[in-house]
Structure 1
Amino acid sequence: MNGQLHVAYALELPKHPSEVQRAFNIAPEAGFALSIKNPEAGAPPGAGLSEEEKPEYPEKLQEEFRDRRFELEDLRMLDYPGAEFILGARVDPERAYHLQLPKEEEDYAHADIVGELRMATSRHPVKPLFEGRWQ
């Protein structure tokens, strides 16, 4: 359809990555290329879904794999239950994708994420999110 999907991010909070980000190996900036797994392709032992859990794509969509293990372009495949995908990481998305990631100076009182998640600060301990530490 439109080529491979790329997702990139830049952390705004916490201002300086700390123990939580290191524990989960979250880089201050990263990008990912998404690839959808062909349900007819094999998987390593103990990995992947059972036959009952695999997606059942219409023949026309299944043909887009062209006997490859992954499809890069048709994101409609993600609309099917059991669709599997992998994310290939890029550590420097600005250079890899030739873009400038917008970063805002955020603080606890004005952070968009608090509103987007509809977190009542009186009921949810969100301060650790801004400090990058375990609660």
Structure 2
Amino acid sequence: MHLSYALELPERPGEVQKAFRIAPEASYVLSVKNPEKGSPANAGLRKQDQADYPDKLQKEFRGRRFDREDVELLDFEGAEFLLVGARTNPEVAYGVELDTDAADYEHADTVRRLRMVKSRHPVKPLFEGRWD
């Protein structure tokens, strides 16, 4: 599985994006952790908080620590995943167009998909890329 993105908001990365090392666009390989394999000390979820996959999906891991083929593995509470940087320019690398539009709060696709309500969710960092 790959996750490729291009920032729509803020228009230019600010201090928040720099602090979290969020590039204007990037691509990652996404791998889901097998809950039956251990985690390093002080890493991962507690046993009772880990995903409990049905046998059919647990077999997707084929005994490995991670699986990157089945997106269904992400549909379970407690699913843990790892993002590994793959490309800094996914449009060129994969021949895809990451369409971004200048957006305002009412029309930003992310705001709509996350069902954010302006009165309850601070949006200044989203538009300005600055800490409040």
Do both share a fold (TM > 0.5)? yes
Distance in 1 separating the partners of 2:121 and 2:38: 44
Q: 1:95 aligns with which of 92, 95, 119?
A: 92
Unaligned runs of 5+ in 2: none
Q: Which residue of 2 aligns with 1:64?
A: 60
Q: Distance between the aligned counterparts of 2:12 and 2:81, measured in 1? A: 30
1:9 aligns with 2:1: no
- State how 1:77-96 maps to structure 2 within 5 Å: 77-90=73-86, 91-96=88-93
Q: Which residue of structure 1 aligns with residue 117 of structure 2?
A: 119
Deviation sequence 1:92-131 (CA, Å, 0-9, x none): 221332212112133x47642586245347x765344322
Mark the CA change 1:62 to 1:17 in structure 2 (over 3 Å): closer, same or farther: same
For the 8 Å contact 2:125–2:131, the answer to whether it is kept is yes
Shift of residue 34 of structure 1? 1.6
- Partner Cα separation in structure 2 for residue 37 and residue 109 of structure 1: 35
Q: Deviations over 1:61-82 (max 9, x none)?
A: 2222111111111222223332
2:18 maps to a residue whose letter is: R
In terms of mean alpha carbon deviation, does 110-119 or 26-35 score higher? 110-119
**Larger proportion of helix:** 2
Consecutive unaligned residues of structure 1, counting only runs of 5 or more, are none
Tell me how far 1:12 sits from its aligned partner.
Answer: 2.4
* SS of residue paired to 1:61: helix
Judged with a 3 Å threshold, the aligned counterparts in structure 2 of structure 1 residues 18 and 56 are, in CA distance, closer, same or farther, namely closer
Instruction: State how far apart, in whole Å, the 2-side matches of 1:93 and 1:82 are.
Output: 29
Aligned-CA RMSD value: 2.5
Calculate percent identity across the aligned residue pairs. 51
